[in-house]
Amino acid sequence: MLATIFSAGLQGIEAELVYVEVNAGESGDPRVVLVGLPDAAVKESNDRVISALGNTGFKKPRTRTTINLAPGDMRKEGPMYDLPIALGILAATGQLKPDNIDHYLIAGELSLSGATRPIRGALAMARLAKSLGKRGILLPVLSAPEAALVEGLEVYAIPSLDHAFRFLNGQLEIAPTPARTHPLPYAQGEDGIGDFSEIKGQHALRRAVEVAVAGNHNLLMIGPPGSGKSMVAKRIPTIMPAPILEESLEVLSIHSAAGQTLGGPAVFGRRPVRNPHHTISDVGLLGGGAIPGPGEISLAHNGVLFLDELPEFKRSALEVLRQPLEDGVVSISRSAGKITLPCSFMLVSAMNPCPCGYLGDTKHECRCSPTQIQRYRSRISGPLLDRIDIHIEAPALSIADLRNEKPGETSEAIRTRVQTARNRQHTRFKSSKVTSNARMTHAQIRKHCVIDSTLGDLLQHAMEQLSLSARAYDRILKVARTIADLAAAEAIESNHLLEAIQYRSLDRNVFY
């Protein structure tokens, strides 16, 4: 008897329909044959499923049984096919009525006892089920909450193979998982992140960070050890505007496909913050693998990628950031296929001014030679620096600043101004896919960053003095537009432009 179960496989972060076809009662040796380009984890499904069937009290197949995962030219990976294979065997051997199976998309890993375990890509599978017009989707208990974010689809949390069997046979009623709601942004001190009020001094740095977040601009902080660069970076999420629902779904889709949500229900409605170590490989940063998957830049989509000690990263790893920073997507080609992943993130980076870290510090002597400083700085290429909108110095704190007990401005106050500036940008770009000033196209820069002849002469003079590239010219205008938005100004004024020009510290060779 032939039975077909609708399931899904992951291709990058998207789900593709997979037909689990089970044919039992064939002549020949009594064994189970699995075909359809399965990987090692899928091949091991045979043993898991047979043990789960026996331990749950069902009859094991006693004839030759062929299981085909179609389409045959698509590589199948992971244990997500355990549950549909088990139900397909039950339907093919006449133990399960096949009447209701076609109404659902089914996926899940099984333990040897028949209990379900969470899988990757539940949200993408739920979106696929909805697009196919399915009544609902059957998923493990820990994977169901993220799938419940998809409206108009019934999501059933299945604790075991026995529950799935009785549910599909009409012997058990299971209530659909309640839809999840969109949470509020970070509260002060939530998740141990801290608050900007805890930062001592560094007023120029705080201002630069506010401008960067308001326009989603890339940021580079330069300063000696202990100046608070990492402390500021860790608190950036507390001043970022809450993501809209569609942005949250994009983030969760990527993290689910990468297996980041297998430990339990995912944190939904938070902008991701990724902080990879400087020993990370090119593939770990960009994404890839034998079967291409998301890397750190995609896991930081709609959030922050923080690279501490920027010059310590491998040159090749930094150079792969150039195209994603410009386009907001990354294409990865491997023998298993080609995928395109979103990676629209805000790059926040930090570095010391020299190898010892004390160049320009009045309290510590720098022991680095000019050659050592140049070699250290040259690890960051000019094209990469061009793509970082804001370079800001973080000088060492004085003892008076450290002893000051007066709290600084809170994250909530800063976030309010940032949200107001972002609202102006959303109104400005409502007819396009652009959502922030940093993502403006050349045509939009010419339209929304108009400056008069006096300001044009000022900018031209700065460009010539600093030997800036055409890309840096556009980025100065973008930052100036953000500063004007924070000031609620309709047009870019001279003080906005001058502040934006000041945020090109490395172009001005201030450390020599």
Q: What is the pLDDT of residues 396-414, one digit of tens each?
A: 877 776 667 677 889 999 9
The confidence score (pLDDT) of residue 403 equals 67
Please report the pLDDT score of residue 470 as a whole number. Answer: 77
pLDDT confidence bin for 508, thresholds 50/70/90: low
Asked if residue 128 belongs to a domain, the reply is yes
| Three-state secondary structure call for residue 508 | helix
Asked if residue 428 is part of any domain, the answer here is no
Q: Is residue 481 part of a domain?
A: no
264 and 146 share one domain: no
The verdict on 113 and 229 lying in the same domain is no
Q: What is the pLDDT of residues 36-72, one digit of tens each?
A: 999 888 999 999 999 999 999 999 988 999 999 999 9
Residues 164 and 194 in one domain: no
Residue 139 has pLDDT above 90, yes or no: yes
**Are 158 and 70 contained in the same domain?**
yes
Q: What percent of the chain is predicted at pLDDT more than 70?
A: 93
- Residue 169 CA to residue 84 CA, distance in Å, equals 15
Q: Is residue 210 part of a domain?
A: yes
In angstroms, the CA 419 to CA 411 distance is 12
| pLDDT at residue 162, rounded to an integer | 96
pLDDT level of residue 265 (50, 70, 90 thresholds)? low
Rounded Cα gap, residues 161 and 62, in angstroms: 20
Residue 133 covered by a domain: yes
Q: What is the pLDDT of residue 264?
A: 58
Is 437 within the bounds of a domain? no
Domain shared by 159 and 223, yes or no: no
pLDDT of 239 reads: 93
CA dist 22 and 87 (Å) reads 9
Domain boundary residue among 359, 391, 422? 422
Whether residues 287 and 208 share a domain: the answer is yes
Length of the chain: 512
pLDDT of residue 382 exceeding 80, the answer is yes
Question: Which residues, other chains included, contact 91 with Cβ-Cβ below 8 Å and sequence gap of 6+?
Answer: 1, 3, 5, 22, 97, 98, 101
Query: Does one domain contain both 305 and 229?
Result: yes
Q: How does DSSP classify residue 504?
A: B
What DSSP character marks residue 221?
E
What is the pLDDT at residue 185?
52
Note whether 222 and 94 are same-domain residues. Answer: no
* 26 in Cβ contact with 43 (< 8 Å): no
pLDDT at 510: 41
CATH classification at residue 28? 3.30.230.10
Same domain for 12 and 155, yes or no, is: yes
Count of CB atoms situated within 10 Å of the CB of 460: 11
DSSP 8-state code for residue 436: S
Rounded CA gap, 360 and 500, in Å?
A: 23
- The Cα–Cα gap between 37 and 48 comes to 18
Quick one: average pLDDT of 256-263? 82
The type of residue at 419 is Q
> Using an 8 Å Cβ cutoff, are 317 and 282 in contact?
yes
Closest CA to 32 of 44, 46, 18, 19: 46
Tell me which of 115-129, 216-230, 257-271, 379-393 is least confident.
Answer: 257-271
pTM: 0.87
Q: Is residue 405 part of a domain?
A: yes
For all residues of the chain together, what is the average pLDDT? 89
* Residue 375, domain extent: 190-422
pLDDT score, position 189: 44
Q: Which of 214-218, 319-323, 372-376, 466-470 has the lowest mean pLDDT?
A: 466-470
Q: For residues 312 and 325, give the distance between their C-alpha atoms in angstroms, rounded to a whole number.
A: 19
Q: Tokens 């020993």, residue?
A: 279
| Exposed / middle / buried, residue 156 (Cβ in 10 Å: 0-12, 13-18, 19+) | buried
In a domain, 435, yes or no: no
Backbone angles phi, psi at 462, to 5 degrees: -65, -40
**Do 160 and 229 sit in the same domain of this protein?**
no
Please write the tens of the pLDDT for every residue from 270-291.
Answer: 788 999 999 999 999 998 776 7
- How far, in Å, CA of 199 to CA of 187, rounded? 17
For residue 181, the model assigns a pLDDT of 63
pLDDT band with cut points at 50, 70 and 90 for residue 107 = very high
- pLDDT tens string 419-472: 999 999 999 999 888 889 999 999 999 999 999 999 999 999 988 887 777 778
pLDDT at 336: 63
Taking the chain, what is the end-to-end CA distance rounded to the nearest angstrom?
80
Q: How far is CA 265 from CA 176, 181, 273, in A?
A: 16, 13, 18
CATH number for the domain including 400?
Answer: 3.40.50.300
Do 279 and 201 fall within a single domain?
Answer: yes
Position 119 confidence tier, pLDDT thresholds 50, 70, 90:
very high
* Final residue belonging to a domain, choices 407, 422, 437: 422
End-of-domain residue from the set 376, 402, 422:
422
Do residues 351 and 248 both lie within one domain? yes
Q: Is 50 exceeded by the pLDDT of residue 188?
A: no
Domain count, the chain: 2
pLDDT at residue 191, rounded to an integer? 57
The predicted pLDDT at position 512 comes to 39
Q: Which residue has the higher pLDDT, 231 or 182?
A: 231
**Over residues 488-502, mean pLDDT:** 94
Would you state the pLDDT for residue 293?
81
Q: What is the mean pLDDT of residues 229-234?
A: 89
